[in-house]
Amino acid sequence: MTQNSSFSKGSLEIICGSMFSGKTDELIRRVDRARIAKQNVTVFKHKIDKRVHDTENFLTSRTGSKIEAIAVKTPEEILDYVKKHNIQVVGIDEAHFFSPYLVDVVAELIIQKKRIIIDGLELDFRGRPFAWVATLMAMADKVIKLNAICSECNDDTFCLSQRIIDGKPAKYDDPIILVGSEEYYIPRCRGCYQIDKKPDFTNQK
Ligand SMILES: [Zn+2]
Protein backbone atom coordinates (compact mmCIF):
# COMPACT_ATOMS: atom_id res chain seq x y z
CA MET A 1 0.00 0.00 0.00
CA THR A 2 1.20 3.48 -0.84
CA GLN A 3 2.23 5.45 2.23
CA ASN A 4 -0.10 8.38 2.70
CA SER A 5 0.07 10.90 5.51
CA SER A 6 -3.72 10.90 5.78
CA PHE A 7 -3.58 7.32 7.08
CA SER A 8 -1.08 8.14 9.78
CA LYS A 9 -3.09 11.14 10.99
CA GLY A 10 -6.65 10.93 9.68
CA SER A 11 -8.09 13.62 7.45
CA LEU A 12 -11.33 15.28 6.40
CA GLU A 13 -12.21 16.70 2.97
CA ILE A 14 -15.58 18.40 2.55
CA ILE A 15 -17.16 19.13 -0.81
CA CYS A 16 -19.94 21.71 -0.59
CA GLY A 17 -22.01 23.93 -2.85
CA SER A 18 -25.61 24.43 -3.93
CA MET A 19 -27.83 21.88 -5.64
CA PHE A 20 -26.54 21.02 -9.16
CA SER A 21 -22.96 22.08 -8.36
CA GLY A 22 -21.52 18.59 -8.97
CA LYS A 23 -20.81 17.59 -5.36
CA THR A 24 -21.69 13.91 -5.79
CA ASP A 25 -19.58 13.69 -8.98
CA GLU A 26 -16.60 15.08 -7.06
CA LEU A 27 -17.16 12.65 -4.15
CA ILE A 28 -17.35 9.71 -6.59
CA ARG A 29 -14.20 10.90 -8.38
CA ARG A 30 -12.23 11.09 -5.15
CA VAL A 31 -13.36 7.75 -3.71
CA ASP A 32 -12.87 6.07 -7.09
CA ARG A 33 -9.23 7.19 -7.13
CA ALA A 34 -8.75 5.78 -3.61
CA ARG A 35 -10.30 2.50 -4.78
CA ILE A 36 -8.00 2.34 -7.83
CA ALA A 37 -5.12 2.86 -5.38
CA LYS A 38 -6.27 -0.37 -3.67
CA GLN A 39 -7.47 1.33 -0.52
CA ASN A 40 -10.39 -0.11 1.42
CA VAL A 41 -13.16 2.36 0.56
CA THR A 42 -16.85 2.51 1.47
CA VAL A 43 -19.40 5.17 0.56
CA PHE A 44 -22.44 5.84 2.71
CA LYS A 45 -25.63 7.68 1.82
CA HIS A 46 -28.74 8.46 3.85
CA LYS A 47 -31.77 6.24 3.38
CA ILE A 48 -33.93 9.36 2.94
CA ASP A 49 -32.21 10.13 -0.40
CA LYS A 50 -33.97 8.16 -3.14
CA ARG A 51 -33.11 9.85 -6.43
CA VAL A 52 -34.59 8.91 -9.76
CA HIS A 53 -31.92 6.44 -10.88
CA ASP A 54 -30.68 5.46 -7.42
CA THR A 55 -31.05 2.00 -6.05
CA GLU A 56 -30.44 0.98 -2.45
CA ASN A 57 -26.89 -0.21 -3.22
CA PHE A 58 -25.63 2.55 -5.48
CA LEU A 59 -24.95 6.25 -5.41
CA THR A 60 -25.61 7.91 -8.76
CA SER A 61 -24.83 11.49 -9.74
CA ARG A 62 -26.93 13.58 -12.11
CA THR A 63 -24.32 13.15 -14.83
CA GLY A 64 -24.51 9.36 -14.54
CA SER A 65 -21.41 8.59 -12.42
CA LYS A 66 -22.17 5.63 -10.25
CA ILE A 67 -20.53 3.88 -7.29
CA GLU A 68 -21.56 1.23 -4.78
CA ALA A 69 -22.91 2.73 -1.56
CA ILE A 70 -24.47 1.63 1.68
CA ALA A 71 -27.70 3.33 2.73
CA VAL A 72 -27.90 4.10 6.47
CA LYS A 73 -30.33 5.90 8.73
CA THR A 74 -27.93 7.17 11.42
CA PRO A 75 -24.26 8.28 11.67
CA GLU A 76 -23.73 5.55 14.30
CA GLU A 77 -24.27 2.91 11.61
CA ILE A 78 -21.31 4.38 9.70
CA LEU A 79 -19.07 4.07 12.77
CA ASP A 80 -20.10 0.45 13.35
CA TYR A 81 -19.58 -0.56 9.72
CA VAL A 82 -16.16 1.11 9.44
CA LYS A 83 -14.95 -0.66 12.59
CA LYS A 84 -16.32 -4.07 11.58
CA HIS A 85 -14.86 -3.97 8.05
CA ASN A 86 -11.64 -2.04 8.78
CA ILE A 87 -12.45 0.65 6.19
CA GLN A 88 -9.62 3.13 5.43
CA VAL A 89 -11.43 5.70 3.27
CA VAL A 90 -14.98 6.76 4.21
CA GLY A 91 -17.19 8.62 1.72
CA ILE A 92 -20.42 10.23 2.97
CA ASP A 93 -22.93 11.70 0.52
CA GLU A 94 -25.41 14.50 1.35
CA ALA A 95 -24.26 15.23 4.91
CA HIS A 96 -27.18 17.62 5.44
CA PHE A 97 -29.61 14.67 5.53
CA PHE A 98 -27.93 13.33 8.67
CA SER A 99 -28.21 14.65 12.25
CA PRO A 100 -25.79 16.92 14.13
CA TYR A 101 -24.34 13.72 15.65
CA LEU A 102 -22.55 13.23 12.30
CA VAL A 103 -19.93 15.68 13.64
CA ASP A 104 -19.13 13.42 16.60
CA VAL A 105 -18.90 10.38 14.33
CA VAL A 106 -16.54 12.18 11.92
CA ALA A 107 -14.38 13.41 14.83
CA GLU A 108 -14.10 9.80 16.07
CA LEU A 109 -13.21 8.55 12.56
CA ILE A 110 -10.43 11.16 12.34
CA ILE A 111 -9.05 9.89 15.69
CA GLN A 112 -9.18 6.40 14.18
CA LYS A 113 -6.90 7.74 11.37
CA LYS A 114 -9.44 7.38 8.59
CA ARG A 115 -9.57 9.54 5.46
CA ILE A 116 -13.09 10.97 5.31
CA ILE A 117 -14.56 12.59 2.20
CA ILE A 118 -17.97 14.20 2.63
CA ASP A 119 -20.29 16.13 0.36
CA GLY A 120 -23.25 18.21 1.42
CA LEU A 121 -25.22 21.41 1.10
CA GLU A 122 -23.74 24.06 3.36
CA LEU A 123 -26.83 26.28 2.97
CA ASP A 124 -30.52 25.37 3.00
CA PHE A 125 -33.00 26.79 0.47
CA ARG A 126 -33.36 29.90 2.69
CA GLY A 127 -29.63 30.62 2.51
CA ARG A 128 -28.94 29.61 6.12
CA PRO A 129 -26.16 27.17 7.05
CA PHE A 130 -26.87 23.57 7.91
CA ALA A 131 -25.17 23.82 11.30
CA TRP A 132 -23.37 20.47 11.28
CA VAL A 133 -22.16 20.90 7.67
CA ALA A 134 -20.75 24.31 8.63
CA THR A 135 -19.02 22.69 11.62
CA LEU A 136 -17.54 19.99 9.40
CA MET A 137 -16.24 22.71 7.04
CA ALA A 138 -14.50 24.34 10.02
CA MET A 139 -12.93 21.00 11.04
CA ALA A 140 -11.85 20.00 7.53
CA ASP A 141 -8.30 19.78 6.16
CA LYS A 142 -9.68 20.77 2.77
CA VAL A 143 -12.90 22.56 1.78
CA ILE A 144 -13.87 22.24 -1.87
CA LYS A 145 -16.62 24.72 -2.65
CA LEU A 146 -18.30 24.13 -6.01
CA ASN A 147 -20.61 26.43 -7.95
CA ALA A 148 -23.64 25.60 -10.05
CA ILE A 149 -24.62 27.80 -13.01
CA CYS A 150 -27.55 30.16 -12.45
CA SER A 151 -30.59 28.89 -14.35
CA GLU A 152 -31.71 32.47 -15.06
CA CYS A 153 -28.60 34.43 -16.08
CA ASN A 154 -25.86 31.73 -16.46
CA ASP A 155 -23.69 33.35 -13.77
CA ASP A 156 -21.28 30.72 -12.44
CA THR A 157 -19.78 32.43 -9.41
CA PHE A 158 -22.14 31.53 -6.55
CA CYS A 159 -25.57 29.95 -6.45
CA LEU A 160 -28.25 29.26 -3.87
CA SER A 161 -30.66 26.31 -4.04
CA GLN A 162 -33.88 28.04 -5.04
CA ARG A 163 -36.90 25.93 -4.10
CA ILE A 164 -39.85 26.34 -6.46
CA ILE A 165 -43.34 25.11 -5.56
CA ASP A 166 -46.08 25.36 -8.21
CA GLY A 167 -43.89 27.67 -10.27
CA LYS A 168 -43.26 30.13 -7.41
CA PRO A 169 -40.40 30.58 -4.89
CA ALA A 170 -41.05 28.60 -1.68
CA LYS A 171 -41.79 30.54 1.51
CA TYR A 172 -39.07 31.13 4.10
CA ASP A 173 -41.03 29.24 6.78
CA ASP A 174 -41.53 26.05 4.71
CA PRO A 175 -39.88 22.81 5.98
CA ILE A 176 -36.10 22.79 5.51
CA ILE A 177 -35.80 19.25 4.12
CA LEU A 178 -37.75 18.36 0.98
CA VAL A 179 -36.26 15.45 -0.98
CA GLY A 180 -36.54 15.52 -4.78
CA SER A 181 -34.05 17.79 -6.43
CA GLU A 182 -35.16 17.82 -10.05
CA GLU A 183 -38.76 18.67 -9.18
CA TYR A 184 -38.35 21.36 -6.55
CA TYR A 185 -34.98 23.07 -6.93
CA ILE A 186 -33.13 25.23 -9.41
CA PRO A 187 -29.75 26.96 -8.94
CA ARG A 188 -29.93 30.75 -8.84
CA CYS A 189 -27.23 33.35 -8.25
CA ARG A 190 -27.62 35.96 -5.51
CA GLY A 191 -29.10 38.40 -8.03
CA CYS A 192 -31.79 36.05 -9.36
CA TYR A 193 -32.64 34.21 -6.11
CA GLN A 194 -36.02 35.11 -4.58
CA ILE A 195 -37.56 34.57 -1.14
CA ASP A 196 -40.15 36.39 0.97
CA LYS A 197 -37.86 37.07 3.99
CA LYS A 198 -34.18 37.76 4.61
CA PRO A 199 -32.25 34.88 6.20
CA ASP A 200 -32.10 35.08 10.01
CA PHE A 201 -28.62 33.91 11.00
CA THR A 202 -28.99 34.33 14.77
CA ASN A 203 -32.22 32.41 15.42
CA GLN A 204 -30.92 28.91 14.56
CA LYS A 205 -33.99 26.71 14.63
ZN1 LIG B 1 -28.59 34.73 -11.97
Distances (CA, A) of 12 to 65, 66, 140: 22, 22, 5
> pTM of the entire structure?
0.89
Distances (CA, A) of 129 to 21, 105, 199: 17, 20, 10
Q: Per the CATH hierarchy, to which homologous superfamily does domain 5-147 belong?
A: P-loop containing nucleotide triphosphate hydrolases (3.40.50.300)
How far is ligand 1, taken at its centre, from the CA of residue 146, in Å?
16
pLDDT digits (tens, 9 = 90+) for 191-204: 999 999 888 887 75
Annotated catalytic sites, by residue? 94
pLDDT digits (tens, 9 = 90+) for 33-54: 999 999 999 999 999 866 555 5
Q: How far apart are CA 78 and CA 42, in angstroms?
A: 10
When the pLDDT of each residue in the chain is averaged and rounded to a whole number, the result is: 90
How far is ligand 1, taken at its centre, from the CA of residue 155, in Å?
5
How far is ligand 1, taken at its centre, from the CA of residue 73, in Å?
36
How far is ligand 1, taken at its centre, from the CA of residue 186, in Å?
11
